[in-house]
């Protein structure tokens, strides 16, 4: 039995969740999203809570039970609070700024890197060396943050590059004479 799948999902006030067959729809202050469940998983709303249950083939449904419950939890949290990934830029002359619908990154290349901001994602630069990526979809927020980081990943000698705010970079000792 799935320990994750057993726990119900609390639906906060101001958020509406509806179950229509194999589709869960959530609507909140940050937008509307939906999730398609697999054929071996069922969903129901009981006492203001979303309950995910396995059905049909026991082995296949038990494999997906916790996964679908976790995805449904992310769906409800996304339309209620949203998700945020913070990035830091380290390096002399390295900086970022938002210009209209683009993120302009200066990362030590001979040219500026222009990253178009996708629909549904909000990118802010509080400081020239700090980037905040936020949105309602947990997967897309993480993917966009990973793409920005991939332009100049942190290197282990001086720590220069784009890194997650909570990431620790293991430092290496340089060459000795």
* 162-174 tens-digit pLDDT: 999 988 989 998 8
Class of domain 3-80: alpha beta
Measured CA angle at 159 (ends 157, 160), to 5 deg: 110
Task: Look up the pTM and report it.
Answer: 0.84
So what's the pLDDT on residue 1? 54
* 17-75 tens-digit pLDDT: 888 888 889 998 888 898 898 888 888 888 888 888 888 778 878 888 888 888 988 98
Cα–Cα distance, 24 to 42 (Å, whole number): 10
CATH label, 83-164, candidates 3.10.20.30, 3.50.50.60, 3.90.930.12, 3.40.50.300: 3.90.930.12
């Amino acid at each position: 039995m799935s320990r994750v799948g057993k726990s119900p999902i609390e639906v906060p006030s101001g958020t509406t969740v509806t179950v229509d067959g194999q589709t869960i729809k959530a609507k909140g202050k940050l937008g509307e999203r939906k999730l398609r469940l697999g054929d071996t998983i069922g969903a129901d709303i009981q006492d203001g809570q979303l309950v995910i249950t396995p059905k049909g083939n026991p082995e296949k449904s038990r494999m997906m039970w916790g996964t679908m419950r976790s995805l449904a939890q992310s769906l409800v949290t996304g339309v209620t609070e949203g998700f945020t990934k913070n990035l830091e830029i380290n390096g002399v002359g390295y900086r970022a700024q938002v210009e209209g619908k683009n993120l302009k990154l200066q990362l030590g290349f001979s040219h500026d890197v222009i990253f178009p901001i996708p629909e549904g994602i909000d990118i802010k630069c509080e400081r020239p060396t700090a980037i905040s990526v936020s949105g309602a979809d947990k997967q897309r927020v993480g993917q966009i943050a990973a793409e920005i980081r991939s332009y100049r990943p942190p290197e282990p000698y001086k720590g220069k590059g784009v890194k997650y705010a909570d990431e620790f970079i293991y430092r290496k000792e340089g060459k000795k004479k």
